[in-house]
A and B are shown apart, each in its own frame.
Chain A
Amino acid sequence: MSLLPWSIYLSLAGALASLAFGARSARAARWIALLTAGGAWALTLLAATRFVPGPGLQTLVDLPWVPSMGVRYHLAADGISLTLLVLTGLASTAGVLFSWNVRERAGEFFALFLTLVAGVYGVFLSADALLFFAFYEIAIVPKYFLIAIWGSTNREYGAMKLALYSFAGSAMVLAGLLWVYAAGGGHGFGFADLAQAAATLSRHQQIVVFAFVFFGFATLAGIFPLHTWAPTGHVAAPTAASMLLAGVVMKLGAYGCLRVALPLSPVGFAYWQTPIAWLAVTGIVYAGLVALVQADLKFVIGYSSVSHMGFVMLGLAAANFQAVGGAVLQMFSHGVIAGLLFAVVGRMVYDRTHTRQLAELRAMPLHRLMPFAAAVFVIAGIASMGLPGFSGFPAELTILVGAWKAAPAWAAAAALGVLVAAAFTLRAIALGFFGSTGAPLPAGAGHAAPMEPITLAEKLGALLLVGATVLVGIKPDILLNWINPALQSPLLQSVLKGGAP
C-alpha cells in the first residue's frame, strides 16, 4: 500500500522523460509512456492484492506542507480510492495503447497525458482538502492542451469550454472550502477538521457552503444543467484524452462530491438532497434523449457519458449504503465502458474512415470491413446499455435499489433512462456498423483503399477493457468487497442513512 504515492511520482517522471526523449523519437516517447502508465497501474494492482478492507482512510504519507496555514501533504487510501486508482491505471494504460499512432509532437502529447494521469492519481490519494484541490487544478491545464493541439472537431472551442467550466467549478469549491476553513479558525484542511468547522456555521450558511462545494465538484461530474462542456469537449479531444476525460476525469468530480462535499455538511446535504436527485434523473433521461438524435457517432457517446454519470450522481444523492456503493461501482464500470466506446469510435473507426457522421458510416458496411471493431463496439454498447453480464448491470441495479429505498419515484424515473440508453445505443450500433446489410460488398464503397488492419496495440487495449467489464460484471464482489467496508467510515456514516447491505 505504501507504494501507492509512487504512482503519482512515476507518472510525473515519465512525463518529463517523455518530453525530453520524445523530441527526438516518437517511438521512445510511446514506450516511456507505456512503461510509466503500465508501471503505475501495476503499483495499484499490487496494493490491491495486499489491501485489507477497513472503514477508514489508511494514511500513506503525512507531512506538514504549509504550517502557517495548516495545510498538510497528506495522502491516504481506502477501498473507494483503491477502486478508482485501479481504474485510472487501466484507463491510462489502455489510452497509451490506443495512442500508439500519434506521431506529431508525440513527446509533448505523452508528457501532457502523463501529467494529467499524475494529477488524477493525486486527487484519488489526497486526504487533505487543499491538496485535493491542488491536484484537481493540476489536471486542468493538460486537458486544455491535449484537446487544443491534437483534437478534432471544433477543438479550440471545445478545449476552452472544458477548461473554463472545470476551472469555474473548482473556483466555487475553493470559495466554499476557504469559507469553512476561515470559520474553523484556520486549523487545517483535513476532511474531519472541515466537517467540524462547518458545523459551527449557521444552518443557512451551511446550505450555501454545501451548494458551493457540491455543485463546484458536480460541474466536473457533468450534472445537468452544468454538463454542456462534456459532449463538446470529449468529442473534440483525441482518443486517449477522451478515454481518460470521460472515463476517469469526470469521476474526479463525483469523487469530490463523495469525499469532500458530502461529509462536509450533513445539514446542507439534507436540504439539497431532493433537488440533486431530480437533477441527476433529469440528466439521465435528457442526455439519453439528446443522444438519440445525434448525427455524429462521437456525440452519441459523449452524451451517453453524461447520462451514465447521472446514475452516479443519483446514487450519491440517495445517500444510503447501497446507493453510494453502487455509485462507486458505476464510476468504475462507466470508466471502462466509456474508454472502450471512445477507443472504438476514435481510434478504430475515425482514424481509418475519417468520418464519424452516422449517415456516412451507414453507407459503409463496417461490420464486414472491421469485424473486430464491430464486435468490440457491440460488446461495449451492450455493456453500456446495462445488459446483465457486464459491469454496468450490478452497478445500475445497486443504484436503483438504493434510490428506490430513498424515494421510489427516483428509481422509476431512472429506469426510464435505462430504456432510453438501450434505444440510442442500439441506434448507434445499427447505423454505425451495420448500416447497409444483406447487400454484397459494393466495389469501392466510400473509399478506395482497404482498411488498415487493427493493430496489436489496439487489440491489447480492447482486450484489457473488455476483460475488466466482463470480470466485474460476473463478479462485482471483487470491487464491492473494497467499497462496502469503506462506506462504514465515521465521516460518511454521518451522511448515509440506513440501508444495511
Chain B
Amino acid sequence: MSPAPLLSLVILVPWAGALLLACLPRLGAQACRALALAFSLSTLALSLALLGGFDCASTGYQFVERHGWIASLNVDYHLGLDGLSLLLVILTGLLAPAGLLASWRRASEPRFFGLLFLVLQGAALGVFLALDFFHWFIFWELSLIPVYFLIKLWGGPGAARAAYQFVIYTMGGSAFLLLGFVAIFAATGTLDFEQLARLGADGALGAKLAALGGFWPQAVFLGVFLGLAVKVPLFPFHTWLPPAYAEAPIGVSMFLTGVMSKMGVYGFLRILWPLFPAPLHAAAVPLLWMALGGAVLGAFAAMRQSDLKRMVAYSSVNHVSYCLLALFAVSAATGRAGLSSAASAAALSGTLLQMFNHGLSAGALFYCVGVLEARSGGLRGLGDFGGVRSAAPVFAGLCGIAMFSSIGLPGLNGFVGEFLIFRGVWGLAPWAASVACLGLFATAFFLLTFWQRVFHGPRSGAARGGFADVAGLDLAVLAPLVALMLVLGVLPQLLTGLFNPLVTSWASHLPLP
C-alpha cells in the first residue's frame, strides 16, 4: 500500500473538477474551459507519478488500495494497477485533454460541457482501476450518462436518436453483464476480480457454475460476453457505433474511439478471459470469425463511406477487432500441443500496443476531420475537399502521419502493434491471419483514397477559397499526438517495457481448458 492513495486521486480529481464547475454557475466561459482543462490534465500529471513509482518487473497489482465497504455483500473498495491498466490510464490522460481542446471553441455552454466531460473521464479511469465488480460496474454504467448528454446536446442533426440508440444498446449489454455477475456472486459469494481470476484459473468457478445445470452455465458466460462485446464493439454488435461516432461532437468522438472502446477490450482481458477460460476456448472459433468480420467488413464498409467521419468510425471497428482477434486466437490455441508461448506473447503484446496506438491515431484522425469540418463550415464529405495540401501543408503533414500510422506503415507506432498481432495470430491460427489481411488491404485503400482525394490534386471544394493552416490550438492538440506516434514507432520499448513481464506471465500461464 503506497502512502498516498494515488489511484483514488486519479479517479476523484476529475470528479472534483466537475463538482467545482457545477457549484460555480456564474463562472465565465473562458474560466470554465480553463478549469476543465486543468482538471483533465491532472490525470496526465498523476500518471507520470504512477510511472515513476511503477515497478515494471512485477506482474501483480501495484498501488493497491483495499478497504472494507459493504460487508453484507462481501464487497471491498479495491483499486489496483498493473501494466495493462497503467497503459490505459496514460492513454486516457492524453486523449481526454485533447478531446476537451478539440471542442474548445465549438461547444456552447462550456461549463456544462466541461462538467460532463470530466465526469466521463473519471468514470473511464475508474473502469481501468477498479478490481471489484461492484464499483467497476458503477464506473462502467456511469460513463454512459455523460456520453448520452454530450452527444445529444452538442451533436449533429441525428444526435438524439444516435445517443438514445447508443445508451440503450450498451445498457442492454450491461443488463446481461449484470445477470452474469449475479450468477457468479450467487455461486461463489465474491465479486472481487482477483479472487474470481484465481477461481477461474483452477477451474473452481467453472465447476460451481456447472452445478446450475441446464444451459445456465453457458448463459452466464454469454451474458458477460455480450455486455463486453457491445462496448468494444464486436461485430455484429457494432451497429450503434457509426451513428454515435458520426453525430457526436469532435472531442467526444475522439474520446469514444480512443478510450471508451478500450474499456471493452480491457473487460475482455481483465474479466472474461481470466474467469471463463474454458468457455472462451470452446467458443473461440466462432468468436474468431466475429472478430474477422469486424476487421474485414469494417474496413470494407469504411471504403464505401463518403462521410469522412463515418469512414473513420468504421475504421475504428476494424482496428479494435484486431485486438480481439489476437485474444481469441490465443484462446483458441490454448492447450494445443506444441503451442509456442512466443506466439501467444506476441499476440498479447500486440493487443496492448494496438490499444494504445489506435487511441492515438484514431484520435488524431478524428481531430483532423474536425478541422476539415470547421474550416469548410460544416462539410465533411469525401468529395467536398481537394488539394488541401497546397493550402495547408502543415496540416496535411500531421494528418498524413496519423493516417499512415493507422494504415500501419513501418516506422510509425501503428505498425508495431499490428505486426505483433499478425505475427502472433499467424503462429496460432494461420487461416485467421490470412483472412485478416484483407482488412489491412482495405484499410490501406480507403485511407489512401482519403489522402489522395482530400489533400492532393487541384484545389477544389472548400479548399478553393482559402484554407487556413493549423496553428495555435489545433497544433497544440495534433503535434503532441503525432510526435508520440513518431517516437513510439521508433522506440516501442517505451511502452512494451511497461507490460512485458505481465504479458510473458499471461503467455506462459495460459489457463488450460
A/B contact in complex, CB under 8 angstroms: yes
A417 to chain B, nearest CB (A): 9
Nearest-neighbour CB distance to chain A for B214, whole angstroms, equals: 8
Are A422 and B171 within 8 A (Cβ)? yes
- B426 contacts the other chain (Cβ, under 8 Å)? no
Proximity string of chain B (156-196) to chain A, C-beta cutoff 8 Å, 1 when within and 0 when not: 00011000100110011001101100110110000000000
The answer on a CB contact under 8 Å between B160 and A501 is no
| Cross-chain contact A427 with B182 (CB below 8 angstroms) | no
Contacts of B141 in A (CB 8 A): 387-389
Given contacts A415-B175, A434-B153, contact A388 B138 (CB under 8 A): yes
A-B contacts, CB under 8 A, total:
100
Whether A400 contacts B182 by the Cβ 8 Å rule is yes
Residues of B within 8 A of A325 (CB): 72
Residues of chain B contacted by A459 (CB below 8 angstroms): none
A475 lies within 8 A of chain B by Cβ: yes
Tell which of B168, B212, B216 touches A422, judged by Cβ atoms closer than 8 Å.
Answer: B168
A437-467 interface bits toward B, Cβ cutoff 8 Å, 1 = contact, 0 = none:
1100000000000000000000000000000
CB-CB under 8 A from B212, the residues of chain A are 408
Interface segment among A104-112, A302-310, A476-484: the answer is: A476-484
Supplied contacts A398-B73, A411-B183, 8 more A-B pairs, CB within 8 Å: A325-B72, A400-B178, A401-B182, A401-B186, A419-B175, A434-B152, A475-B70, A480-B73
State whether A430 and B164 are in contact (beta carbons under 8 Å apart), knowing that A388-B138, A389-B142, A415-B176 are contacts in the complex.
yes
The yes or no answer to B134 lying at the interface (CB within 8 A) is yes
Residues of A within 8 A of B (CB): 325, 378, 382, 385, 387-389, 393-394, 397-398, 400-401, 404-405, 408, 411-412, 415-416, 418-419, 422-423, 426-427, 430, 434, 437-438, 475-477, 480-481, 484, 501
Partner of A404, one of B142, B172, B183: B183
Contact B160 A437 (CB under 8 A): yes
Q: Would A408 and B168 count as touching, CB distance under 8 A?
A: no
In whole Å, how far is A328's beta carbon from the nearest beta carbon of chain B? 12
Q: Does B476 contact A (CB under 8 A)?
A: no
Q: Are A427 and B186 CB-contacts (below 8 A) given A388-B141, A389-B142?
A: no
**Contact present for A423 and B186 (CB under 8 Å):** no
Decide: A427 and B164 in contact? CB cutoff 8 A. Answer: yes
Q: Which residue of A lies closest to B178 (CB)?
A: A415
With A and B bound together, what is the CA distance between A413 and B61 in angstroms?
Answer: 37
Instruction: Give the chain B neighbours of A404 by CB distance below 8 A.
Output: 179, 182-183, 186
CA distance A254 to B212 in the complex (A): 30
Interface majority SS (helix, strand, loop, mixed), chain B: helix
Please give me the residue from chain B that is nearest to A478 by CB atom. B70
From residue B268, how far is it (CB to closest CB) to chain A in Å? Answer: 21
A387 and B182 form a contact (CB under 8 A): no
Indicate if B148 sits at the interface (CB-CB under 8 A): yes
List of B residues within 8 angstroms of A378 by Cβ: 145
A393 to B176, CA, bound (A): 15
Q: Given A387-B145, A388-B138, A415-B178 in contact, is the A422-B70 Cβ separation under 8 Å? A: no
Which of B148, B152, B182 interacts with A411 by CB under 8 Å? B182
Q: List 17 A-B contacts (CB under 8 A).
A: A387-B142, A388-B138, A393-B138, A397-B185, A401-B186, A404-B183, A408-B212, A408-B216, A415-B182, A418-B171, A419-B175, A426-B167, A437-B160, A438-B153, A475-B70, A480-B72, A480-B73
Which chain A residue lies CB-closest to B163?
A430
| Complex interface: chain A residues within 8 A of B69 (CB) | 475, 477
Give the Cβ gap from A412 to chain B, nearest Cβ, in Å: 6
Task: Please report the total number of B residues contacting A with Cβ < 8 Å.
Answer: 35
Partner of B171, one of A393, A419, A484: A419
Which residues of B have CB within 8 Å of A437?
152-153, 159-160
For the complex, is B54 an interface residue (Cβ under 8 Å from A)? no
- Whether, in the assembled complex, B419 has its beta carbon less than 8 Å from a beta carbon of chain A, the answer is no
Report yes or no: A388 in contact with B134, Cβ–Cβ below 8 A: yes
- Residues from chain A with a CB closer than 8 A to the CB of B167 are 422, 426
User: At the interface, yes or no: B24 with Cβ under 8 Å from chain A?
Assistant: no
Q: Chain A residues near B154: list those with CB within 8 A.
A: 438
Given A401-B185, A437-B153, residue A484 in contact with residue B72 (CB < 8 A): yes
| B494 at the binding interface (Cβ < 8 Å) | no
A401 to B183, CA, bound (A): 7
Closest B residue to A398 by CB, please name it: B73
Q: B152 contacts which chain A residues (CB < 8 A)?
A: 430, 434, 437
Contacts of A477 in B (CB 8 A): 69-72
Q: Is B57 an interface residue (CB 8 A)?
A: no
Cα of A405 to Cα of B188 in the assembled complex, Å: 12
Minimum Cβ distance to chain A for residue B209 (Å): 11
B219 contacts chain A at the CB level, 8 A cutoff: yes
A419 and B172 in contact, given A387-B145, A397-B182, A434-B153 (Cβ under 8 angstroms) = yes
Bound CA–CA A15/B204 (angstroms): 61
Q: Which residue of A lies closest to B72 (CB)?
A: A480
Closest to B142 in A: A389
Complex contacts, A422 vs chain B, CB 8 Å: 167-168, 171-172, 175
Separation of A394 and B153 alpha carbons in the complex (Å): 31
B118-169 contacts to A, CB under 8 A, are: 134-135, 137-138, 141-142, 145, 148-149, 152-154, 159-160, 164, 167-168
Tell me which residues across on chain A come within 8 A of B149, comparing CB atoms.
434
CB distance from B156 to the nearest CB of A (A): 9
Q: For the complex, give the distance between the alpha carbons of A388 and B167 in Å.
A: 15
Task: Select the residue from B145, B154, B182 with max chain A CB neighbours within 10 A.
Answer: B182
8 Å CB interface, B195-214 against A: 212
Closest to A438 in B: B153
Distance in angstroms from B73 CB to nearest chain A CB is 7
- In the assembled complex, the Cα of A427 lies from the Cα of B161 at a distance in Å of 10
Chain B residue at smallest Cβ distance from A427: B164
Contact: A405 with B186, CB < 8 Å?
yes
Report if A382-B145 is in contact (Cβ < 8 Å); known contacts: A388-B138, A418-B175, A423-B168.
yes
A501–B72 contact, CB under 8 A? yes
Interface contact A412-B70, CB-CB below 8 Å: no
CA distance A405 to B183 in the complex (A): 8
- A416 to B182 alpha-carbon distance, docked (Å): 14
Chain A residue numbers with a CB within 8 Å of B159 are 437-438
CB contacts (< 8 Å) of B178 on chain A: these are 397, 400, 415, 418
- Chain B residues positioned under 8 Å from A401 (CB to CB): 182, 185-186
When the two chains form their complex, are residues A426 and B70 in contact, meaning their CB atoms are under 8 A apart?
no
Closest residue of B by beta carbon distance from A405: B186
Known contacts A408-B183, A419-B171, A430-B160; is-contact A388 B70 (Cβ 8 Å): no
Q: How far is the CA of A382 from the CA of B186 in the complex (A)?
A: 26
- In the complex, which residues of chain A have a beta carbon less than 8 angstroms from the beta carbon of B172? 419, 422
A438 to B152 alpha-carbon distance, docked (Å) = 9
Question: A83: shortest Cβ distance to chain B, in Å?
Answer: 13
A367 to B138, CA, bound (A): 25
- A305 to B179, alpha carbons, bound, how many Å? 22
Q: Are A426 and B175 in contact (CB under 8 A)?
A: no
Give the chain B neighbours of A423 by CB distance below 8 A. Answer: 168, 171
**Bound CA span A397–B142, Å:** 16
Given contacts A404-B186, A477-B72, A480-B72, contact A426 B179 (CB under 8 A): no
A54–chain B nearest beta-carbon distance, Å: 16
CB distance from A318 to the nearest CB of B (A): 11
Q: Give the distance to chain B from A371, nearest Cβ to Cβ, in Å.
A: 9
Cα distance, A481 to B71, chains bound together (Å): 9
Residues of B within 8 A of A438 (CB): 153-154, 159
Query: Nearest Cβ distance between residue A483 and chain B, in whole angstroms?
Result: 9
